[in-house]
Every structure is written in C-alpha cells, then in structure tokens.
Structure 1
Amino acid sequence: MKEENNWLLLKREFGRFLKFERGLSDNSIEAYLNDVSKLEVYSEENKLTLQQITSKDIQRFLIWINGFGISPFTQSRLLSGLKTFYNFLLLEYDWENNPVELIQAPRIARKIPSVLNIQEIDQLINAIDLSTPEGMRNKTILEVLYGCGLRVSELVGLKLSNLYLDVEFIKVEGKGNKERLIPIGSQAIKYLKIYINEVRPHIKVKSGQEDFVFLNKRGAALSRVMVFIVIKELATKIGLQKNISPHTFRHSFASHLVEGGADLRAVQDMLGHESITTTEIYTHIDRDYLQSVITQYHPRS
C-alpha cells in the first residue's frame, strides 16, 4: 500500500472510530483529523513513513509546530489528539510503535475567565429596547444564558420540546451530543413564556425550524454569530470596557453560584463539564473576589 493511501485509509477509519465508538461530534472529529493531518504534512516533508515515526520525531514535530506561533494550549490539545490516534492504531491494528506515549504536554498556565458582576449584568439587560420583538427576544436570551449557564451552541439549539417550565427544568444537547437537564430560575421562565406566547406567534416560521426556541426575523433558528453581535452591541451601548461574549454569561453564572456557596459537583453537572478540574477554575475566581474584598475593606490592607 502506498504511504499516502495508508494515511488516507487510517484517517478515514479513525474518523469512523471517533464517530461510532467514541460518539464525538462532527466538529470534534474534524479537530482530531486535523491533528493527524499536521503530522502527515511534517512526515512527508521529512520523508518519514507513519511506521518510521519515533518519539524523537514527535518532539521535533512539536518544535516545528511551535515555529508557527501555536499556543501551548493548542500544542497540548494537538498532542492529546495524536495520543488518541495512536491508541486507535494499537486497538484496531495491533500497532507496535507508540511514539507519543512518553511525550509530555507543554505546561499551560491556567487562565482565569473574565466574569461580569451582577450590576454589569443588570445594566446590559436594562439597556435592551423592549418595544420591539427582537428586544424581547434578546432579553430572554440574556436571562437564559445567565440563568442556566448555557454554551452559545446550546442556546441556539434549544428546542421548545425540551422546555419543562412547569417543573423548572430545560434539556440541552451539549458537547459530544450529550444531553443534560438544567434547572431554570423564575426570571428566565417569566421571559421565556412572554417570548413564546406573545412574540414568537407573530413570526412566520420556516419549515423545519418550528421546534427552535429563538428565531430571527426570517423565521429561522438564530445563529451563534447573531448572539455575539447582540451582546457586543449592548456592551458598547452601556460603555462596558470588558471584552465579553456569550460565554462570559456562562462564566458569570458559575462564578456567582460558587461565590454563593453552591456545591462544586452541582455546578459541574449544570455546566456539563466531564471533569471537576474544569469546574474548579471558578473557585480561583471566588478566592480572587474574597482577596479584593479584604484589600478594599480591611483596615490593615
């Protein structure tokens, strides 16, 4: 088998493995295949076959990748993708050579996400013009983003059939097509009902879009980009200096829960984090907040 066909075949089978064995989303599968393709390009440039690649070659490959200005986080994720690829080769093809097994990922500084305080969230929501149908929709969007801690993809994919407002829960489809139930507060419920009962009936909904909660003027499901634009325009309107996005509301949701004493495992479940380590970042935000309180108010600070 020619080497180029070997790469092509293995990538195709790897994609199927990720889809059917691991149950990953199309976006995640594409990212994994891109990782393998980068190694393929490097191997071709250095006249290496897949079977010839050693740990030394992987180290040189990472140095080569670093030359393109790729961040340590991206390098770490790339290495994780290659480890998954070689584990697939070991499992499916009894591959004997695993050159990534002992390679250490670059050390990554943990980034504390930016959050909004309650006053800033209120300012953003109060800046919305409620005299228009889009204004009521946008207010509902912010109430749901902040009230449930959704990812923007979960928000735009939210279905009417997955709203259980009578028992104060909604069902969303998160990463890897994994579904989870999230409690929803009274404020978000209030505006969802107003939007669904008073605004949405006046929109001519496109065929196939009937079950989506949030629609644009043309009756189609709202796009991720549109949600970003709405939030950026509101930030400009109130003169907010922070660089915010829909994800900022998710961070704020989690941070405010932790500040209020919420159980970290409960927050993990609501956010849909696979690992508690990901959720623990919000305890760092909480400590920073407490430190700022001491600095501001303690007479000895």
Structure 2
Amino acid sequence: MNVLSKEKESYPVVEKYKRFLLLERGLSKNTIEAYMTDLAKLIAFIQEQNIPVKEITTDTLEAFLAQLYDEQISPRSIARIISGVKSFFRFLVLDEYLEDDPSELLDSPQIGMKLPIVLTLEEIDRILSVIDVSTSEGTRNYAIIETLYSCGLRISELTHLRFSDLYFDEGFIRVQGKGSKQRLVPISETAITRINDYLPYRRQLNVQKGQEDFVFLSARGKAISRITVFYYIKQYAEAVGLQKKISPHVFRHSFATHLLERGANIRAIQEMLGHEKITTTEIYTHIDRTFLRQEIIEHHPRNKRN
C-alpha cells in the first residue's frame, strides 16, 4: 500500500511539508522523494497506532525507532530517517502547527565512518583502455567517464549536462547541483577533447524533441540515464578484472582524493564538489591520511625488508 497516497486525505500537513521542501528549500525531486519515503514509515506507524500528528510525543517517536531496530534496519538508514523526521517536525513548529518539537531529544545511532571506494590513476587508465573508441558508443562512454572523473560530478549532474552549460573556451562547465544550485567547475583539456571527439557521432543520432540541448544521449536520442552509465562502468571494470565494487560515484571520490593527495586546498575541493558543509568534504582528509601512512610505512627505511 502506498501510505503517502492515503495520508493525503488524513494528513494534509504532510503534503504542505512536501510543497515546503520544493518551493522554500528548493530541493531536487529525488531528494524530496527520499524525504517522503522515510516520512512514510512514520506515517504508517502512527496510522497503525491511530495517533494524530498533533499528538505525537517523544515517547511515540522512541517507539517508532524501536520498531525500526526490530526490523533490523541499518544504523545508517535509521540515522537518515531520524534526520528526515527532525526536518518534518521543525517544519511543523515553523508553520505553527505544533508548539513544541517532539523530535528534539531523539539521538541518532553511532555510525562508524566508512571511507568511500577510491580508484588509483592506474586503475582509471585500465578501465579507459578497454573502451572501443572506434564506435559511437565507446567514444561517448570514454567522454562520460573522463568528464565524471575530471570534474568530480555526481551522476545526475552528468546526465543533465547541457550544451548551454559548456564554456570550453574559458575551461569551465556550469553544473546544476543539488537543490538546483549552480556552480562553475574547471574541466580538463583531456575531457574537452573527449567530448569533442564524441560530437560527430552524436550528430548522427535522431535526437528526440526536447532533448536537443543534452550533451550525452542514448542510442535512442534521449538524455542518457544513470542506469545506462552504471551498466557500462560495471562492464568495463569487470573486463579489466577490477575487484573493487565501483559505480559512477567512485570517480567523484577518486577525483577529490587525488586532488587532496597532490596538495589542493580542501575549501577549493568543497567548492568544486558542491558540498554545502566542509565536514562532508573532510571525509577525504581521512583517505589522505590513510594514503600518507601507507606511503610512509612502505618507504620508511626502518620498514625495509631484506
């Protein structure tokens, strides 16, 4: 059962919250859907308990979280759900629907820091080496991977990249990030060359109406999907025997890590990645320290083995 379709009638305040996320906070459709999916779990719980939104207490929310733990939902997912629930109740107080916030005292579970998967330059080169650039598909895919890595893009940012966002003469592209926020990102000469190599093949496609401005297209002339990009990256990784579990996002992680390893300022990396908080970018300082320790242990004279 789709809980949210039922609550439109019973809980109109939830629909009001959804409009708030879209119009006031300017969040993307995918982000809003994630918020609403998590909130639907709470709505389902209070429906079962026959509790109106205005009568939700901290005890109600503690019982809700206990149910999530009983369902063996991971601590990371529970932390995300708590964050969404807190956002919802902050809105209710702001909207004067509630006087007090029952979620204020909720604690998120402790989550061990999980370092993202990162590729070495050699591994990236190996992946690129198996792409057949004599084909239109291969030329496009090479340009896609080079752009993902060169600019540190999210997959949604790449699939929505438009010709009107390209400023090759200046060496930049304009990126539509989360919450419809725009940023300018430097693009390498290599990525520019690979995109230009792809354009003659792209011009041969029967481009669908409304898709003319998208840079990367499927064989059917529509903006390429994230699933298609994921599929090809997985195929190339398997072709070179790469054991790491990779996705398009791994190239973004690799981009940030390689910049940091080579001395780039973390604030500049934050700006390029489009992170709102520096703490999000700081995950890469942990990767950098891990890399530094490995380098020292490997090359320290006291650790040399005869």
Shorter-chain TM-score: which interval?
over 0.9
Read off the aligned partner of 2:149 and give its amino acid letter: Y
8 Å CA contact retained: 1:36, 1:81: yes
User: 1:151-162 to 2 correspondence within 5 Å?
Assistant: 151-162=154-165
Q: Match for residue 100 of structure 2? A: 97
CA shift for structure 1 position 107 = 1.3
SS class of match (1:300): helix
CA shift for structure 1 position 146 = 0.8
State which of 127, 130, 133 in structure 2 corresponds to 1:127: 130
User: 1:122-201 to 2 correspondence within 5 Å?
Assistant: 122-196=125-199, 198-201=200-203
Q: Match for residue 70 of structure 1? A: 73
- CA RMSD, Structure 1 to Structure 2 (Å): 1.6
SS class of match (1:202): coil
Q: Match for residue 240 of structure 1? A: 242
Q: Match for residue 261 of structure 1? A: 263
Q: Match for residue 209 of structure 2? A: 207
Q: 1:8–1:47: structure 2 CA closer, same or farther, 3 Å change rule?
A: closer
Q: 1:199–1:62: structure 2 CA closer, same or farther, 3 Å change rule?
A: same
Whole-Å Cα distance in 1 between the matches of residues 132 and 296 of structure 2? Answer: 38
Whole-Å Cα distance in 2 between the matches of residues 94 and 161 of structure 1? Answer: 43
Q: Match for residue 88 of structure 1? A: 91
Q: Deviations over 1:134-161 (max 9, x none)?
A: 1111111111011000011111110011
**More deviation in 146-155 or 23-32?**
23-32
8 Å CA contact retained: 1:228, 1:245: yes
8 Å CA contact retained: 2:38, 2:81: yes
Q: Match for residue 53 of structure 2? A: 50
CA shift for structure 1 position 72 = 1.3
Whole-Å Cα distance in 1 between the matches of residues 301 and 61 of structure 2? Answer: 55
Read off the aligned partner of 2:197 and give its amino acid letter: I
Q: 1:63–1:129: structure 2 CA closer, same or farther, 3 Å change rule?
A: same
Q: Does residue 15 of the first structure (1) align with residue 15 of the second (2)?
A: no
SS class of match (2:185): strand
State which of 249, 252, 255 in structure 1 corresponds to 2:254: 252
SS class of match (1:180): strand
Q: Match for residue 288 of structure 2? A: 286
Give the fraction of aligned pairs with identical amino acids, expressed as a percent: 50
CA shift for structure 1 position 47 = 3.1
Whole-Å Cα distance in 2 between the matches of residues 32 and 295 of structure 1? Answer: 44
CA shift for structure 1 position 32 = 2.0
Query: For structure 2, which runs of at least 5 residues remain unmatched after alignment?
Result: 1-5
Read off the aligned partner of 2:275 and give its amino acid letter: H
Query: For structure 1, which runs of at least 5 residues remain unmatched after alignment?
Result: none
SS class of match (1:181): strand
Whole-Å Cα distance in 1 between the matches of residues 49 and 161 of structure 2? Answer: 47
CA shift for structure 1 position 241 = 0.9
Read off the aligned partner of 2:182 and give its amino acid letter: E
State which of 231, 238, 245 in structure 2 corresponds to 1:229: 231
Read off the aligned partner of 1:205 and give its amino acid letter: V
SS class of match (1:172): strand
Q: How many residues align?
A: 298
**More deviation in 91-100 or 220-229?**
91-100
Read off the aligned partner of 2:265 and give its amino acid letter: D
CA shift for structure 1 position 5 = 6.8
8 Å CA contact retained: 1:128, 1:135: yes
8 Å CA contact retained: 1:231, 1:246: yes
Whole-Å Cα distance in 1 between the matches of residues 224 and 247 of structure 2? Answer: 16
Q: Deviations over 1:26-67 (max 9, x none)?
A: 222222222332112212222322222211221111110112
Read off the aligned partner of 2:44 and give its amino acid letter: V
8 Å CA contact retained: 2:8, 2:14: no
**More deviation in 74-83 or 248-257?**
74-83
CA shift for structure 1 position 6 = 7.2
SS class of match (2:45): helix
Read off the aligned partner of 1:192 and give its amino acid letter: I
Whole-Å Cα distance in 2 between the matches of residues 243 and 81 of structure 1? Answer: 28
